[in-house]
Amino acid sequence: MQDQTGAAAGRYAVARVDNGHEHRLGIVSLDASGVMTVEEAEPAESAALARLVHRMNGQAMLQISVAPPPGSPRFAVASRPVARGEAEFIPAMQDDLLRYYSIRLSPL
């Protein structure tokens, strides 16, 4: 479910999404392999943002959804691993953050 096509290294605003509203957490930078560094943090959110960055930087691999192989049963789902440093890693990380943590990374 990579809806963040074209995501690349750079600076990103970090916001928690809640009922369509965004609450700013801060700004991170991402290197080409998807390693995050906190550049700015809202004072009340600095600890939470640091934990999030630590958690995501600890992920060497993420899973992305792919089409099931031909002949798969109806409603089958499939995924494949994406290693840190692959082109799909940053979009996969953005998708995971939004899906599982309600956190949006938006390029600046």
Would 61 be classed as within a structural domain? Answer: yes
pTM: 0.83
Arithmetic mean of pLDDT, 91-104: 94
Would 58 be classed as within a structural domain? Answer: yes
pLDDT of 4: 44
Q: Which of 101, 99, 100 is nearest to 25 (CA)?
A: 101
**Residue range of the domain that includes 74:** 10-107
Mean pLDDT check: name the lowest of 2-6, 51-55, 59-63, 80-84: 2-6
Arithmetic mean of pLDDT, 75-98: 93
C-alpha 39: how far from chain center: 17
Would 67 be classed as within a structural domain? Answer: yes
Instruction: Work out the angle at residue 87's Cα, subtended by the Cα atoms of residues 72 and 45, and round it to the nearest 5 degrees.
Output: 105
Burial of 69: CB neighbours in 10 Å, binned 0-12, 13-18, 19+: exposed
pLDDT band at 5 (very low <50, low <70, confident <90, very high): very low
pLDDT of 96: 94
Q: How many domains does the chain have?
A: 1
Three-state DSSP class for 76?
coil
pLDDT of 6: 53
Residue 59 above 70 pLDDT? yes
Long-range contacts of 41-49 (CB under 8 A, 24+ apart): 49/14, 49/25
pLDDT of 2: 39
Would 28 be classed as within a structural domain? Answer: yes
Distance CA 27, CA 42 (A): 9
Residue 3 above 90 pLDDT? no
